[in-house]
Each structure stands twice: as structure tokens, then as C-alpha cells.
Amino acid sequence: MKQNRLKQDAGVKAVDFIKSGMTIGLGTGSTVTYLVEELGKRVQSGQLDVDCVATSQRTFEQASNLGIKMHALSDVNQIDLTIDGADEIDLNFQGIKGGGAAQTYEKIVALNSQKNIWIVDESKMVDQLGAFPLPLEVVPFGWKQLFDRLHKENLNPHLRCDEKHQPILTDMNNYVIDLYLQKIMHPHLLANWLNQQTGIIEHGLFLDLVNTVIVGRLYGPEAIENVR
């Protein structure tokens, strides 16, 4: 319950960064759910008038049901601000995302945004990335050969499956392979290697992207600026 309250505090605080007339990217995950709820309240009350795109079908549906104006990414000219969650954020503002199997859509939206905010509870702030499994969205065709290649590189891959032991599918009907690494010593080098592997559509390393992190803490939400 405490963690949910911290997530809610961060999500609600993030809405203060949204101004009428903006085009907003809405991320995916449990913390973003609180963000969308609060945004919906302010839209319904007339405090905010915004256009939005979503990084997953579930966020799109939640926002639409709350009366938020939603659009396809290809139908907007620019994204002023994207607000999303994160699974880990290190001391250098590098992140792992994709616990909800939406990292490809999340990264596309983030890279096309003027500014990015991540909203997390304080447990997501770490000294070093890697304790959270690194997700890869992969093409089903040839996934086993890719899996074997990752295993040979000692990247400890696991195919993400549901309770019936069936592969979990992304919104694009792809598989997710999670790398259980414990520690990622050189995230940029790992990202470059993963980018070169045929069959990997996108990985969950979000590097050099975030501008502001809003952290839910026991004493209240804290906004931390990434001064680059």
C-alpha cells in the first residue's frame, strides 16, 4: 500500500508539468495509471485541454474512457512532453524500461518528444542498472536461435511466459526475452551490441533520454532535473 501511495504521488505531481495546448505522450505501467487518472480529472473539470498519444493499447483505452483526446502517433506533428514510468533509474539518469512489455512503443514516443519525464516510486532509484531484468522485444521467427546466441554471451536469457507457459505477446505480437544480468557495468556498450543483433526489435535500455525524474518519497514527491 505504501508503494502504491508513492506511485500515486509521483503520477499526480507529474500532471502539474502539463499545460493546455500541449501534445502529451502517455506511457505505460502502474504509476502511469495514476497519472492518467489525474489527467482525466483535470480534463473533465476543464482545467486542461490537451491532445495525447499512448505507448500501449491499455493506456489508450484508459485515457479514452476518461475523456482525454487520444490520437495515433502518425496523426500528430510533435510531442511536447512524454511522461512514463521506469523499472530502474541509476545515478546517471540511465534507465531500464519494458517491464510491461511496451518498450518499443515507449522508446519510439520518447525519441520523438521534446521533453521526457519519468515517474517512479523511490524503490526504482538504484546505484547501478541490472537488478531488474532487461527486456528485449524479439521477432517470434527464429527466437530460439537468438535465445541460444544470448545464452552463449552469458546474458542469462529467459523467455517471458504467462501462467500457462505460453509466450507473452507485445502489442505488436512479438515475444519478450528478459536478460537476468544483476549488474550492467557498461550500458552503452551493451545497448550497441544488442542493436546489432538481428531479431531484436528493441531493448529496454533507455539511455540519455530523460530530462526530469519525479520520485515518490515518504515525505512527498521530489522532482529531480537531469542537467546535461
| Whether pLDDT at 203 is above 80 | yes
99 labeled binding residue: yes
More confident residue, 65 or 228: 65
In-domain check, residue 224: no
Q: How many CB atoms lie within 10 A of CB 158?
A: 13
End-to-end CA distance of the chain: give it in Å, rounded: 35
Closest CA to 66 of 25, 27, 28, 38: 38
User: Do 80 and 6 reside in the same domain of the chain?
Assistant: yes
How would residue 1 be classed by pLDDT, with cut points 50, 70 and 90? low
User: Do 105 and 161 reside in the same domain of the chain?
Assistant: no
- Residues contacting 107, CB < 8 A, separation 6+: 97, 202, 206
Distance CA(14)–CA(9), nearest Å, equals 9
Distance CA(217)–CA(52), nearest Å, equals 28
85 labeled binding residue: yes
The CATH number assigned to the domain holding 146 equals: 3.30.70.260
In-domain check, residue 116: yes
124 labeled binding residue: yes
For the segment 43-78, what is each residue's pLDDT rounded down to a tens digit?
999 999 999 999 999 999 999 999 999 999 999 999
For the segment 16-43, what is each residue's pLDDT rounded down to a tens digit?
999 999 999 999 999 999 999 999 999 9
| Whether pLDDT at 9 is above 70 | yes
Q: Residue 172 belongs to what domain range? A: 134-204
For the segment 141-187, what is each residue's pLDDT rounded down to a tens digit?
999 999 999 999 999 999 999 999 999 999 999 999 999 999 999 99
In-domain check, residue 69: yes
| Whether pLDDT at 224 is above 80 | yes
pLDDT at 2: 84
Q: Is residue 88 annotated as part of the catalytic site, yes or no?
A: no
- 3-state helix, strand, coil split of the chain in percent (to 5) is 30, 25, 40
84 labeled binding residue: yes
* Residue from 106, 153, 163, 202 carrying the catalytic annotation: 106
User: Do 111 and 45 reside in the same domain of the chain?
Assistant: yes
User: Do 39 and 115 reside in the same domain of the chain?
Assistant: yes
User: Do 24 and 71 reside in the same domain of the chain?
Assistant: yes
**DSSP code of 98?**
-
Residue 213 near residue 120, CB atoms below 8 Å = yes
User: Do 113 and 21 reside in the same domain of the chain?
Assistant: yes
pLDDT at 183: 97
29 labeled binding residue: yes
Average pLDDT, the chain: 96
Instruction: Say how many domains are in the chain.
Output: 2
